[in-house]
Amino acid sequence: MTTLDQLRPGDTRTITNLRSSDLTIKLLEMGLLPGKAVQFNFKAPLGCPISVQISGYSLSLRIDEARLIEVA
């Protein structure tokens, strides 16, 4: 199963599932909903955090957080 942290800059995928965690609700609130298209923008120079494009805005997430988001 691919997760958001494994994508490369420019890749666009569809969110399929959020792995259950404390942060599920926070991720949902920020618009990371199953069925939504998400684009990988870039990584911070040290590899974490990352920036993604979701429903028209840029969001940054740590790698651990991106790992909770399954994409296809």
List contacts with other proteins (CB under 8 A). Answer: 22-31, 33, 41-42, 44-49, 51, 55-62, 65
Beta carbon nearer to other proteins, 2 or 26? 26
| Nearest in space to 69 (alpha carbons), one of 8, 19, 20 | 19
Nearest approach, Cβ of residue 66 and other proteins (Å): 10
Residue with tokens 């790992």: 67
* Closest approach of other proteins to the CB of residue 64, in Å: 8
Which DSSP letter does residue 5 get?
Answer: G
Find the shortest distance in angstroms from Cβ 9 to other proteins. 10
Q: How far apart are CA 9 and CA 21, in angstroms?
A: 26
